[in-house]
Amino acid sequence: MHQINIGEDLRGFNREIAAENREMLQRFNLFSLNLMSAPGAGKTSLLVKTLPRLMEKYRVAVIEGDVQTTRDAERVGALGVEVFQIQTGGVCHLDASMIHSALHQLDLGSLDMLLIENVGNLVCPAEFELGVDGRVMLLSITEGDDKPKKYPLMFRESRLLILNKIDLISAVDFDLEKAKKEAREINPAIEILELSCKTGEGLENWIDWIDRFYKSRRG
C-alpha cells in the first residue's frame, strides 16, 4: 500500500522554495526578519514604531501578510516605506512561495533590510520556513503566560521573543518569570525583550538587537 503524507510533501516543497529565497536574499546581501504572533499581539504597531528609526540608517521594505484587507499595509506605507501586500485569502500563514513571488516584485538591489509581518496565528506561521535570517515572535502579555507550553513550536523556532504590551502588566494576571522560564525550557538560545509600543519602553533595546543581528549577518 502506498501512502502520501500531504502535510510533509507540502512542507518539503516549501523548504525547497525557502532555500531559493535564502539564496536570493544572500545574493543581494539583504537582511531579513519574519515577525510572527497571534492576532492583535502588536506586530503592526511595533513596525510603525520601529520603521522611522530604521529608515534613518537602512533602506527598508516590508512584506505584509493578511487574510483580508490592506489596513496594516496602509498603516506601514503611510510612513513612506515600500510595502508589498500579500492577501492569503483564508490561509493562516505566509509560505515560501508567497515570499518568492514578492521578492521578484521588489528591487532587492536597492534595499538593506526586509521585514515580513506574517499572518496573525500562533501555529501555522512557525511551520513554514521563508528563507529569512531569523524569526521574531511577539507575545502580548494579555494573551496569558501559559502560551510557551501550549504553542511550543513558535517559541522553538524563534531567535527572539518580545513580550509586548508590558505597560499593562499591573492590570493582567501574567507571570513574567514563568513565561520566560518556560520559553527558555523550550528554546535555551532564545533571547527575550520586554517592550511597550504604547509607551516606547524597551524600544531602544529592540533597535539595538536589530542592529547587532544585522551587523552579524552583513559582516
pLDDT tens digits, 62-100? 999 988 888 999 999 999 999 999 988 878 899 999 999
56: pLDDT confidence band, cut at 50, 70 and 90?
very high
In angstroms, the CA 124 to CA 118 distance is 10
Whether the per-residue pLDDT at 2 is higher than 60: the answer is: no
Whether the per-residue pLDDT at 19 is higher than 80: the answer is: yes
Average pLDDT, the chain: 94
4: pLDDT confidence band, cut at 50, 70 and 90?
very low
pLDDT reported for residue 7:
54
34-55: average pLDDT: 97
144-151: average pLDDT: 96
Whether the per-residue pLDDT at 40 is higher than 50: the answer is: yes
Cβ atoms 138, 37 nearer than 8 A: yes
Burial 179-216 (b: 16+ CB within 10 A, else e): bbebbbebbeebebbbbbbeeeebbeebeebbeebbee
pLDDT reported for residue 51:
98
CATH class assigned to 6-218: alpha beta
111-128: average pLDDT: 95
Count of CB atoms within 10 A of residue 12's CB?
10
Whether the model clears a pTM of 0.85, i.e. scores above it, the answer is yes
Nearest residue to 95 via CA among 72, 125, 69 = 125
In angstroms, the CA 95 to CA 91 distance is 10
Report the percent of the chain where pLDDT is more than 90. Answer: 88
pLDDT reported for residue 88:
87
Report the percent of the chain where pLDDT is more than 70. Answer: 95
In angstroms, the CA 184 to CA 35 distance is 19
Residues of the chain by 3-state class (helix, strand, coil), percent to 5? 45, 20, 35
Provide the residue type at 76 as one letter. Answer: V
Cβ atoms 93, 119 nearer than 8 A: yes
pLDDT reported for residue 218:
81
pLDDT reported for residue 197:
96
Provide the residue type at 116 as one letter. Answer: I
Give the model confidence (pLDDT) of 153-204 as tens digits: 999 999 999 999 999 999 999 999 999 999 999 999 999 999 999 999 999 9
